[in-house]
Amino acid sequence: MKYLLLGFLLVGVSGLVGCSSTGDTATDEVDPDLIVVEEKTEDLVESEATISAATRSDAADSVKIAAPEKKAAYLGHPLDNPESPLVRKVVYFEFDQSAISDEDKVTLNAHADYLIGNPGAHIRLEGHADERGTREYNVALGERRAGGVNRYLILKGVAASQLDMISYGEERPAKLGHEERSWSLNRRVELVYTKR
């Protein structure tokens, strides 16, 4: 705002200076008010640059950018590490399906790597279904789901001797209820480590 006013003042003064001659006499005099205004303008520009640089410097000093802290390495068992995909030990399925989702493949890949690196580890794949369908159908569906996970792990290099399968069908629901939320939690294969 100050600069805008000074700009108008300079334009106005220079306009008056240009129109002030009568044309009769030529003078080389300089208007002292114009010199004062120009000096003040230069002083303001210099002081603003100094203040601006000082402000930026102070702001940089007062704001400390926190470097990302390194987390301590997890010292517990790898299967219990909350930062690892190994902590996820349930694979979920769509209604009446046994196809493994891409998200669950990431989890299964981590478990495959763990099992390959730990040949003494052993896992039981427990297949489950929701309550819809006959008991026999749901046992067969749970078996298909566990079998799909079993095949996936073997294809990734896990020894078949490290894997067991069982199907509970609808007999062991993760959540009781007769609505989609409960059913979606019951359509699963649980990965249960029997030997770590």
- Give the mean model confidence (pLDDT) for residues 85-89: 93
Q: Tens of pLDDT along 156-184?
A: 999 999 999 999 999 999 999 999 999 99
Higher pLDDT, 55 or 147: 147
- Structural domain spans, the chain: 78-195
Q: At 65, is the pLDDT very low, low, confident or very high (cuts 50, 70, 90)?
A: low
Q: What's the pLDDT score for residue 5?
A: 45
- Report d(CA 125, CA 137) in Å as an integer: 18
CATH code, residues 78-195: 3.30.1330.60
- Give the mean model confidence (pLDDT) for residues 136-141: 98
Report which of 105, 109, 112, 125 is spatially closest to residue 191, judged by C-alpha positions: 125
Q: At 74, is the pLDDT very low, low, confident or very high (cuts 50, 70, 90)?
A: confident
**Quick one: CA torsion of 123, 129, 135, 139, rounded to 10 degrees?**
-30
- Report d(CA 10, CA 46) in Å as an integer: 18
- Give the mean model confidence (pLDDT) for residues 99-105: 97
Q: Tens of pLDDT along 23-32?
A: 555 555 555 5
SS3 185: helix
Q: At 19, is the pLDDT very low, low, confident or very high (cuts 50, 70, 90)?
A: low
Residue 108: pLDDT over 90: yes
Q: What is the mean pLDDT of the chain?
A: 79
Six token digits for residue 92: 């979920």
